[in-house]
Chains A and B, each alone.
Chain A
């Protein structure tokens, strides 16, 4: 008990646990644990045959954290920044370090702008966004059963549907205004 010196007795001894649970105690000795100690200096262990890697070509300007001394020798090339969201992203990387909340809040804002831009762009493509198939909501049916934590997800439909409802309302308002002007 916490108020006296000894640790509370366990329901099962180590011998009982070893008999009941396959592998119990196999890594009891910390020397058998692969991340003990945390740091082991061995640059050749990984199989790398370089001290500093060859540099990947930078074919388009690549945004980077200002906490880095230079562009890392290898980097991902998925989805370069574009549109208004790209302007926000580039500004965030150029201006703020990772230590500043503004950096992350701007990137989150850019993500939301990117979503709107992506949806608008899809409407002039051969494959417009389809919220029914893309949300996977069709999985909610007799085939896959009911939600296990329904209370937890009350907000999800609102968060998913709200931008679409707001967008539709905005569209209707614009159309009405344009139609009103052309009649007037």
Chain B
């Protein structure tokens, strides 16, 4: 089969690989019909995530058709159209039993701090991902869900991570009616977090980024006010002025490890890999939110230490909330929101790229070419 293969930082190509096989009785093999490149894939692509091995296949956002099932699979059959959450989870460990599917303890031998994720380095379990024609799906009775007939396939692939993560980020903000919410980052997760904040009753939503074309999308797609931080000497002071010097009630970090806006942080983290991530957006969130406010962290960071301003967070009495999204737990409610037209996931898709051109797709997304916000991958099988 054809699959995207990592060759080293900033280099990927499509190779012929063996079709995955059943390795556990509850595995399924899924033929991928749509996949996506996630902003967090760029951390792998840039060589930031430890234990990203040459030869591995990325991709944790995908939907497809069941091609084969293991002997103990009861809930799926060959030919079913399925959407697969980015989390790999067993369903019954201490954490899964409490609904924390993203923190499963039975699927990632390489680390205890993070669960299993498709195509996201050996630090999350060493599974190949869905930017390929076929993918192995462990715990097929637990993770995948049948793709509803009424749902658009592109909406479905976006629900496997980006939409669910933006929505989960707004939930972790514990938004109350009339709250002022500031979202750092106008990428896909930031767009969905901003749109979801209204569903929770926000009274004002402000999105901050440095890319004008993405801010334009935040205005039209997420109905948000926008700020380009490069137009202000100090974005924290500007945020204070915008909120009568109180600060926002809730701040959402939808940027993560490769945040821009501070040369020292960006170079030491994103370029020299001396930090787990460049916490510029997170530090701005801490300083922009009001005392007693909530910071929700959806941005992905590596496992190394990062220079975060915990002193300010402590002195301000902030609540910091974060996790990888337990995607499947979000789906029943999100399906309702999509069906009702409250969330329109595929409106942020800008590119549909054949799998064989994935190297150009990664570069386009990484370098922000051609107004790229969300690229989907179309396998040829």
B330-360 vs A: 1/0 string, CB under 8 Å? Answer: 1011100100111100000000000000011
Q: Does the CB pair A118–B363 fall under 8 Å?
A: no
B86 within 8 A of A: no
Give the nearest-CB partner of A37 in chain B: B99
A18 to B11, CA, bound (A): 47
Q: Which of A106-136 contact B (CB under 8 A)?
A: 107-108, 110-112, 114-115, 117-119, 122, 127, 129-131, 133-136
B145 to chain A, nearest CB (A): 10
A45, A56, A67, A155: which contacts B267 (Cβ < 8 A)? A155
B225 to chain A, nearest CB (A): 10
Q: Does the CB pair A136–B360 fall under 8 Å?
A: yes
Residues of B within 8 A of A122 (CB): 7
Q: Which of B208-254 contact A (CB under 8 A)?
A: 210-213, 223, 243-247
Can you list the 5 inter-chain pairs with the closest CB atoms, starting with the nearest?
Answer: A23-B342, A136-B363, A46-B91, A76-B126, A48-B91
Q: Does the CB pair A47–B54 fall under 8 Å?
A: no
Which of B60-68, B100-108, B151-159, B279-287 binds A? B100-108
Q: Does the CB pair A148–B211 fall under 8 Å?
A: yes
A181 within 8 A of B: no
A interface residues, tally (CB under 8 Å): 101
Main secondary structure of the interface of A (DSSP, over half): loop
Instruction: Decide: A53 near B23, CB < 8 A? Known: A47-B91, A79-B126, A133-B359.
Output: no
Residues of B within 8 A of A64 (CB): 109-110
Main secondary structure of the interface of B (DSSP, over half): loop
Q: Does the CB pair B53–A114 fall under 8 Å?
A: yes
A25 to B110, CA, bound (A): 41
Known pairs A79-B53, A147-B369; list 17 more (Cβ under 8 Å): A2-B247, A10-B178, A12-B204, A26-B342, A28-B201, A34-B333, A38-B99, A38-B100, A42-B99, A46-B92, A46-B328, A52-B106, A64-B110, A89-B122, A93-B110, A134-B12, A152-B260
B9 within 8 A of A: yes
Give the nearest-CB partner of A129 in chain B: B7
A76 to B111, CA, bound (A): 12
Q: Does the CB pair A108–B56 fall under 8 Å?
A: no
Instruction: Decide: A153 near B98, CB < 8 A? Known: A10-B204, A52-B92, A75-B125.
Output: no
Instruction: Decide: A148 near B368, CB < 8 A? Known: A20-B223, A98-B111.
Output: yes
A33 to chain B, nearest CB (A): 5
Q: Does the CB pair B99–A39 fall under 8 Å?
A: yes
A114 to B116, CA, bound (A): 23
A7, A17, A26, A153: which contacts B367 (Cβ < 8 A)? A153
Residues of B within 8 A of A2 (CB): 244-247, 290
A-B CB contact pairs (8 Å), 26 listed: A2-B246, A25-B201, A26-B337, A32-B333, A34-B171, A34-B333, A41-B97, A47-B142, A48-B91, A54-B25, A72-B109, A74-B90, A79-B126, A98-B112, A104-B302, A107-B50, A108-B50, A115-B8, A118-B8, A118-B54, A119-B7, A139-B370, A144-B370, A148-B211, A148-B369, A160-B10
A36, A78, A146: which contacts B57 (Cβ < 8 A)? A78
Q: Does the CB pair A73–B106 fall under 8 Å?
A: yes
